[in-house]
Amino acid sequence: MKPIFMTYTKKDLINLAVCMVLSVLIIPTFIKTEYWYTSILIPWLCLALATIGQQIVMGYTGQLALGAAGFMAAGAFAMFNLILRVPDLGFVGSLIVSGLIAAAFGILFGLPSLKVRGIYLMVATLASQFFIIWMIDKFGWFKNYDSSGIITAQDIVILGKPFTTPLAMYFVCLAVTTILTLLAMNMARGSTGRNWMAVRDMDIAAESMGVSLLRTKVQAFAISAFYCGVAGALFAFCYLKSLEPVAFDIKLSFKILFMCILGGLGTINGAFIGAAFILLFPVLLNAIGNNVFHGAIDATIISSIEQVIFGLLMIIFMIYEPLGMAKLWENLKQSMRSKLSSSGIKGVKSPVLKK
């Protein structure tokens, strides 16, 4: 299919329109409970954004990195300090600079990727995770010498208007996520994305075609960390409404890794699918625990079960569909389409004819 606008095909634009109508019109009109915004939609958008960051470095560029939460922390605390110390930057300016600061860390800790791959790289990126969290924790300046350990995030003010209600914050997250998602799609489908994937699929051949491994990998790490940094800032300011380093511990990095892999490596929509699944599944499990077993099962047991299921899913996907849920969805659509066309329903063109 030919792109119509930027790199988007007609199908993309239809999907985008549907998503926009859903998220801008339908959701705000029909969902009035705050719970949905504060506990589901906002964290979903933030984590999906961080997962896109993870996708760029892992799904597209093939570098096993495990430190997304560290970059998120860098972004979140950069945001706090920028608003505190450089109020003139404004919210959007601070958000961008926070992303850039996270990107600087991304470049620094992405450098080992030039020498090593696989689990070796994973260990190297763990250094970033532990180092960043430690640094924020140990140097009081980052926390404005607050001794309580938890700092309240400043209110979001854009162009003099406060964005403090759940709905308003939801719109902030939605706007940022939408813009960054569209930009990520442009990169992924353009020459930038081709370089990433070439490095992922066969680095030596890529290099022989003039793709610089240094530039491509460092670039991927930087962009990935930028996305994580912005996501971390939103996560702290719109969801947690507070800043504490432990909120960005290694568990969150693993969570994002799971979102990325279960959602579908090397796809942008997989980031949204994966984030939704990992976020919603525990909610579902808790609901079952409360409504079916009427609280007879301990909450810690439920979260243990959740962990077991995530682990099992990871194993099952690795065995049967390493490309995750996005690929499953794709396959499902394909088999539906071919079923429809083979049963001779008029008006449905077979994929072959369409070309």
Partner 1 sequence: MAYERKFKIGKPILEVNNISLAFGGVKAITDTSFNVLEHEVRAIIGPNGAGKSSMLNCINGIYKPQQGTVSFRGQVVPNITPNIMAQMGLSRTFQNLALFKRMSVLDNILVGRKLHTKTNFLEVALQLPKVKKEEKLNRERSEEIISFLEIEDIKDTPVGKLPYGLQKKVELGRALATDSSIILLDEPMAGMNVEEKRDMCRFILKVNDELGTTMVLIEHDMGVVMDISDRVVVLDYGKVIGDGTPDEIMANQKVIDAYLGVEH
Partner 2 sequence: MANELLFFMEVLVGGLLAGTMYSLVALGFVLIFKASATFNFSQGAMVFFSVLAFCGFMQDFNIPFVLAFILAAFLMVVVGLCTERLVLRPLMNASEDTVLMATIGLGYVLEGLAQAAWGVEVRRLDLGIGDFPVPWIADNLKLFISALDITAGLVAAIMIIGLFLLFKYTKIGLGLRAVADDAGAASSIGIPLKHIMLLVWSAAGVVALVAGMMWGARAGVQFALVDLALKALPVLIIGGFSSIPGAIIGGLIIGAVEKILEVYIGPFFGGAIEGWAPYVLAIFFLLYRPEGLFGEKIIRRV
Applying CB under 8 A, which residues contact partner 2? Answer: 64, 112, 115-116, 118-120, 122-124, 126-127, 130-131, 134, 137-139, 204, 250, 254, 257, 261, 300-301, 304-315, 318-319, 322
Give dist(CA 158, CA 102) in Å, integer: 22
The β-bridge relationship of strands 151-152 and 157-158 is: unpaired
Tell whether residue 209 is a contact of partner 1 (CB under 8 A): yes
Q: Is 158 helix (H, G, I), strand (E, B) or coil?
A: strand
129-168 burial: b if 16+ Cβ within 10 Å, else e: beebbebbeeeeebbeeeeeeebebbebeeeeeebeebeb
Rounded to the nearest whole angstrom, what is the least distance from the CB of residue 279 to partner 2 in the complex? 16
Query: Which residue is listed with tokens 């954004």?
Result: 49
Residue 130: which of partner 1, partner 2, none does it interact with, CB under 5 to 8 A by kind?
A: partner 2
Structure tokens at 10: 């007609």
Per CB under 8 A, contacts with partner 1 among 238-267 are: 266
Give dist(CA 277, CA 239) in Å, integer: 18
Measured from the CB atom, the residue of 99 and 264 that comes closer to partner 2 is: 264
Measured from the CB atom, the residue of 183 and 305 that comes closer to partner 1 is: 183
Q: Backbone phi, then psi, for 264, in 5-degree steps?
A: 135, 110
Tell whether residue 351 is a contact of partner 1 (CB under 8 A): no
Tell whether residue 342 is a contact of partner 1 (CB under 8 A): no
Among the listed residues 228, 232, 239, 246, the one whose alpha carbon sits nearest the alpha carbon of residue 76: 232
Tell whether residue 178 is a contact of partner 1 (CB under 8 A): no
Given a contact cutoff of 8 angstroms between Cβ atoms, the answer to whether 286 and 233 are in contact is no
Residue 213: which of partner 1, partner 2, none does it interact with, CB under 5 to 8 A by kind?
A: partner 1
Residue 261: which of partner 1, partner 2, none does it interact with, CB under 5 to 8 A by kind?
A: partner 2
Residue 183: which of partner 1, partner 2, none does it interact with, CB under 5 to 8 A by kind?
A: partner 1
Contact residues for partner 1, defined by CB under 8 A: 6-7, 183-184, 186-187, 190-192, 194-195, 197-198, 200-202, 204-213, 219, 223, 266, 355
